[in-house]
C-alpha cells in the first residue's frame, strides 16, 4: 500500500521566469497578492500537459500565498459536457490542489460580456459581419499579405446594435452573422485583423441551457473573465503569444475592473504519446483504447487507474521546470520519478506472472510451513508477514532455462537456487508435454537452508520468487507499454497508424501469494523482481485484476545487451 501523498511541495526560491516575475511584482508592490487560474475547456479529460499548467498555476498561488481559481472555459456548447466538468474537478483535486472558493465558469459572465460587446459597438469598435466563415478566412490575408476590409465593416452603430440584439434573440441561423472587433485589417498580427468575438450557435449549454444562442469566442471571453476575477498573472502556452496584443487591446478598450497580464510558457510534449484533446477524443471515440481512463492514456484518470501516484506527477512536472523553449520530454523521466517514490512507498509481495509448476520431491506431501517475509526493505515499520510454503509451488517461466548459458543465475537442470524466504532447491528433472514444452519441474530442497542461508557457507547466485500452489490466489494482470511506436507523434500525418499493437498484454492465469486476495482497489504493491502493480477497478470477489503500474529495470536484459 502506498503512503498518503496529499502534501504539495513549497519551494522557497523562484525557479523560473514566471516565479521571478511574480516575486518581483509582489516586492515592488505592483500588486499585493498573486491571483492565477487554471482555465480548462470542458470538452475532454485532463492529460499530463494540463498537469503542467495545473502545477504552475496552483503551485505559484500556493508558494506566494495567493489564490488560484478553477475556471471552466465553457464558451462552446457544441463540444462541452457535464461529464467533463466533473472529471476535471476530480482530477485537479486528486493532483493535490484546491481552488479558491467555488469553481468559476466563463458562462457566469455571459451577461457582462454581452454588455461589453454592445459598448464596443457603441464606441464604433465592433461590427456585425455577414461574410461566411470561408470568406472571412479569405479576406483575412496571410502572413505576407494584408487583409481586406469586409463590405459590412462600414455599418452604422445603430444598425450593428440592432442586428447584434436580433442575433441574441435567435433571428438568424448558425454561421449567418458574426460580431467582429474593428481593429486593423492591415496589421502585421493576423489576430488583430478584426477578430470574431461572437458567433451564433443554436445549441443547449450545460449550464445556461437555451438562454443564449450567441457565444463569445475564446479571445473575447478569456481575458475578460481574467479581469472580472482579478487574475494578476494569466499563464498560458506559447501558441497564445500572438494573441497577447489582442488580449491587451480588449482589456484597454473595455471597462474591465482590472488589467491582468498574460505570460506564455512552453507546453509539455511527451514522447510516444499524444497530448492533444482532439487526438485523445478520437482514440476514445473510435475505441482504440478502453475509455478516457484506459491506463495507457496520458490522461490524469488513466495514470491514476494505472497506479501512478499524484506525488510522482508533481515531482515529474517540477523537474521539467517552466521555460519558453519547446521540446519532447522522454517519458522515462516520469518512470524514474514513479520508481523512486514507489520503491519507498510500496510494500513487497510475491506474484508469479507466467507460472511454471515445481514439485519438491523430498518435501513431505501434507506439510505446510509459514515463513517470515519482510514487507519492505525500505521501511522497517511496515513489518513482516507469513507466506505459506508447501511441496508444490509456482515459479516464473522465465526463471528456468533448459540449456542455460553460464551467466544465467536462475534455475536450470542440475543447478541450485534460493527460493526467497524459503530454501535452496536443485532442479532434478524436467517434464514436457507432447509438443516438447516444459510443463513442470522436479526439484529437491535442502532442509538445512531454511530462511535462505546454508550453514555450510555454500553460495547460490540466484534468488527466485515463488508462490505456494496450495494457497495461491489467481489474478489477471494487465501489462502496458507505450501507446505509440513513434516518439514524435505530432509530426505524423496519420497518428493512428503509429498505434503500438502491443501496448496491452493481458496475462490471465497469474498466481499471487494469499495475502493479496484482500488487496483494496487502487492500492499499489511491488511484486518482487517483477515491478509495481495496482489493483484495477475491474477486480471482483475472487477475480482480481492488477495493472502493472511500472516495471522494475530488467537486469537480465541489460546483461544480455552487454553480451
Measured from the CB atom, the residue of 207 and 277 that comes closer to ligand ATP is: 277
Measured from the CB atom, the residue of 76 and 547 that comes closer to ligand ATP is: 76
Which residue in 308, 319, 78, 86 sits closest to 202, CA to CA?
Answer: 78
545, 475 Cβ separation under 8 angstroms? yes
Q: Which of 15, 21, 23, 41 is catalytic?
A: 41
Three-state DSSP state, 426: strand
The CA-based dihedral angle spanning residues 169, 170, 172, 178, taken in that order and rounded to the nearest 10 degrees: 70
Binding segment for ligand ATP (CB under 6 A), chosen from 94-102, 275-283, 428-436, 485-493, is 275-283
Q: Which of 180, 277, 418, 548 is catalytic?
A: 277
Count of residues touching ligand ATP (by CB under 6 A): 16
Binding segment for ligand ATP (CB under 6 A), chosen from 102-110, 205-213, 274-282, 531-539, is 274-282
For 404, the grid coordinates are 542455460
Measured from the CB atom, the residue of 2 and 53 that comes closer to ligand ATP is: 53
Measured from the CB atom, the residue of 164 and 272 that comes closer to ligand ATP is: 272
C-alpha 421/C-alpha 213 separation (Å) is 70
C-alpha 247/C-alpha 262 separation (Å) is 8
Cβ 221 to ligand ATP, closest distance in Å? 12
- 10 Å CB burial of residue 544 (0-12, 13-18, 19+) is buried
Q: Could you give phi then psi for residue 192, rounded to 5 degrees?
A: -95, 0
- 10 Å CB burial of residue 101 (0-12, 13-18, 19+) is exposed
Cβ 2 to ligand ATP, closest distance in Å? 26
Among the listed residues 267, 354, 470, 482, the single contact to ligand ATP using CB under 6 A: 267
The label of the residue with cell 495567493 reads 66
Angle at 145 between CA 142 and CA 149, to 5 degrees: 90
The label of the residue with cell 522515462 reads 332
Which positions from 210 to 249 touch ligand ATP by CB under 6 A, shown as an x/- string?
A: --------------------------xx------------
Cβ 73 to ligand ATP, closest distance in Å? 6
Which positions from 178 to 217 touch ligand ATP by CB under 6 A, shown as an x/- string?
A: ----------------------------------------
| 277 forms part of the interface with ligand ATP (CB under 6 A) | yes
Cβ 275 to ligand ATP, closest distance in Å? 5
C-alpha 331/C-alpha 47 separation (Å) is 14
For 540, the grid coordinates are 471482483
Which residue in 87, 489, 78 sits closest to 288, CA to CA?
Answer: 489
Where in 346-375 is the site for ligand ATP (CB under 6 A)? none
Which residue in 152, 150, 162, 151 sits closest to 122, CA to CA?
Answer: 162
Q: Which of 125, 153, 267, 470 is catalytic?
A: 267
Cβ 80 to ligand ATP, closest distance in Å? 10
Measured from the CB atom, the residue of 137 and 278 that comes closer to ligand ATP is: 278
392, 357 Cβ separation under 8 angstroms? yes
Q: Where are the beta strands (DSSP E) in 176-302?
A: 178-181, 196-200, 214-216, 233-237, 261-265, 269-270
Where in 432-491 is the site for ligand ATP (CB under 6 A)? none
Cβ 41 to ligand ATP, closest distance in Å? 4
The verdict on whether 41 is a catalytic residue reads yes
How many other CB atoms are there within 10 angstroms of residue 482's CB atom? 17
Positive or negative: CA dihedral 362, 366, 367, 371: positive
Q: Which residues neighbour 262 within 8 Å (Cβ) at sequence distance 6 or greater?
A: 223, 234, 235, 236, 240, 243, 244, 247, 248
Measured from the CB atom, the residue of 384 and 488 that comes closer to ligand ATP is: 488
Among the listed residues 268, 313, 371, 479, the single contact to ligand ATP using CB under 6 A: 268
The verdict on whether 267 is a catalytic residue reads yes
DSSP bridge pairs for 547? 478, 534
Measured from the CB atom, the residue of 267 and 482 that comes closer to ligand ATP is: 267
Where in 4-63 is the site for ligand ATP (CB under 6 A)? 39-41, 49-50, 52-53
How many other CB atoms are there within 10 angstroms of residue 144's CB atom? 5
Measured from the CB atom, the residue of 302 and 355 that comes closer to ligand ATP is: 302
Among the listed residues 276, 428, 444, 500, the single contact to ligand ATP using CB under 6 A: 276
Measured from the CB atom, the residue of 41 and 392 that comes closer to ligand ATP is: 41
H-state helical runs in 150-276: 157-169, 218-228, 244-253
Residue whose C-beta lies closest to ligand ATP: 49
The verdict on whether 357 is a catalytic residue reads no
Which positions from 70 to 89 touch ligand ATP by CB under 6 A, shown as an x/- string?
A: ---x----------------
312, 286 Cβ separation under 8 angstroms? no
Binding segment for ligand ATP (CB under 6 A), chosen from 276-284, 345-353, 422-430, 547-555, is 276-284
Where does this chain bind ligand ATP (CB under 6 A)? 39-41, 49-50, 52-53, 73, 236-237, 267-268, 275-278
Give the active site residues. 41, 267, 277
Amino acid at each position: 500500500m502506498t503512503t498518503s501523498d496529499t502534501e504539495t511541495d513549497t519551494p522557497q526560491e523562484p525557479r523560473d521566469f514566471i516565479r521571478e516575475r511574480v516575486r518581483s511584482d509582489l516586492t515592488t508592490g505592483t500588486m499585493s497578492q498573486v491571483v492565477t487560474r487554471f482555465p480548462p475547456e470542458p470538452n475532454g479529460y485532463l492529460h499530463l500537459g494540463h498537469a503542467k499548467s495545473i502545477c504552475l498555476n496552483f503551485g505559484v498561488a500556493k508558494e506566494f500565498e495567493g489564490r488560484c481559481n478553477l475556471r471552466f472555459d465553457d464558451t462552446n456548447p457544441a463540444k462541452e459536457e457535464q461529464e467533463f466538468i466533473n472529471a476535471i474537478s476530480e482530477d485537479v483535486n486528486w493532483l493535490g490542489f484546491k481552488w479558491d472558493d467555488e469553481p468559476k465558469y466563463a458562462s457566469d459572465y455571459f451577461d457582462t460580456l454581452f454588455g461589453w460587446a454592445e459598448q464596443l459597438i457603441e464606441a464604433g469598435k465592433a461590427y456585425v459581419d455577414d461574410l461566411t466563415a470561408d470568406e472571412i478566412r479569405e479576406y483575412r490575408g496571410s502572413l505576407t499579405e494584408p487583409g481586406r476590409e469586409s463590405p459590412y465593416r462600414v455599418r452604422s452603430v445603430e444598425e450593428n446594435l440592432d442586428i447584434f440584439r436580433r442575433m441574441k434573440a435567435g433571428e438568424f441561423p448558425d454561421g449567418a452573422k458574426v460580431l467582429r472587433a474593428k481593429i486593423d485589417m492591415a496589421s502585421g498580427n493576423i489576430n488583430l485583423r478584426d477578430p470574431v468575438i461572437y458567433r451564433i450557435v443554436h445549441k443547449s449549454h450545460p449550464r445556461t441551457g437555451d438562454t443564449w444562442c450567441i457565444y463569445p469566442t475564446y479571445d473575447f471571453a478569456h481575458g475578460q473573465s481574467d479581469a472580472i476575477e482579478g487574475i494578476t498573472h494569466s499563464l498560458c502556452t506559447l501558441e497564445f503569444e500572438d494573441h497577447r496584443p489582442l488580449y491587451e487591446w480588449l482589456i484597454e478598450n473595455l471597462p474591465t475592473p482590472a488589467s491582468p497580464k498574460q505570460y506564455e510558457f512552453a507546453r509539455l510534449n511527451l514522447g510516444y504519446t499524444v497530448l492533444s484533446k482532439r487526438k485523445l477524443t478520437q482514440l476514445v471515440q473510435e475505441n482504440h483504447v478502453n475509455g478516457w481512463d484506459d491506463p495507457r492514456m496520458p490522461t490524469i484518470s488513466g495514470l491514476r487507474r494505472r497506479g501512478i501516484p499524484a506525488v510522482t506527477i508533481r515531482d515529474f512536472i517540477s523537474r521539467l521546470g517552466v521555460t519558453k523553449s519547446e521540446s519532447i520530454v522522454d517519458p522515462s523521466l516520469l518512470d524514474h520519478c514513479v520508481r523512486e517514490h514507489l520503491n519507498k512507498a510500496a510494500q513487497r509481495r510475491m506474484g508469479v506472472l507466467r507460472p511454471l509448476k515445481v514439485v519438491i520431491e523430498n518435501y513431505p506431501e501434507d506439510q505446510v510451513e509459514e515463513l517470515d517475509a519482510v514487507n519492505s526493505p525500505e521501511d522497517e515499520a511496515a513489518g513482516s508477514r507469513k507466506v505459506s510454503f508447501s511441496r508444490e509451488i509456482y515459479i516464473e517461466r522465465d526463471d528456468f532455462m533448459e540449456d542455460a548459458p553460464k551467466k544465467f543465475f536462475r534455475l536450470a537442470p542440475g543447478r541450485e537456487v534460493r527460493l526467497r524466504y524459503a530454501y535452496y532447491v536443485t532442479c532434478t528433472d524436467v517434464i514436457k508435454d507432447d509438443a516438447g514444452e516444459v510443463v513442470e519441474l522436479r526439484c529437491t530442497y535442502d532442509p538445512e537452508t531454511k530462511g535462505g542461508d546454508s550453514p555450510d557457507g555454500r553460495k547460490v547466485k540466484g534468488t527466485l520468487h515463488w508462490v505456494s500452489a496450495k494457497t495461491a490466489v489467481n489474478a489477471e494482470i494487465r501489462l502496458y507499454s507505450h501507446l505509440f511506436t513513434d516518439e514524435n507523434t505530432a509530426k505524423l500525418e496519420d497518428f493512428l497508424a503509429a498505434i503500438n499493437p502491443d501496448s496491452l498484454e493481458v496475462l490471465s492465469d497469474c498466481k499471487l501469494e494469499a495475502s493479496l486476495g484482500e488487496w483494496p482497489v487502487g492500492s499499489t504493491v511491488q511484486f518482487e523482481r517483477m515491478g509495481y502493480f495496482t489493483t484495477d477497478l475491474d477486480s471482483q470477489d475472487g477475480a482480481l485484476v492488477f495493472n502493472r503500474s511500472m516495471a522494475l529495470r530488467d537486469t537480465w536484459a541489460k546483461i544480455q545487451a552487454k553480451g
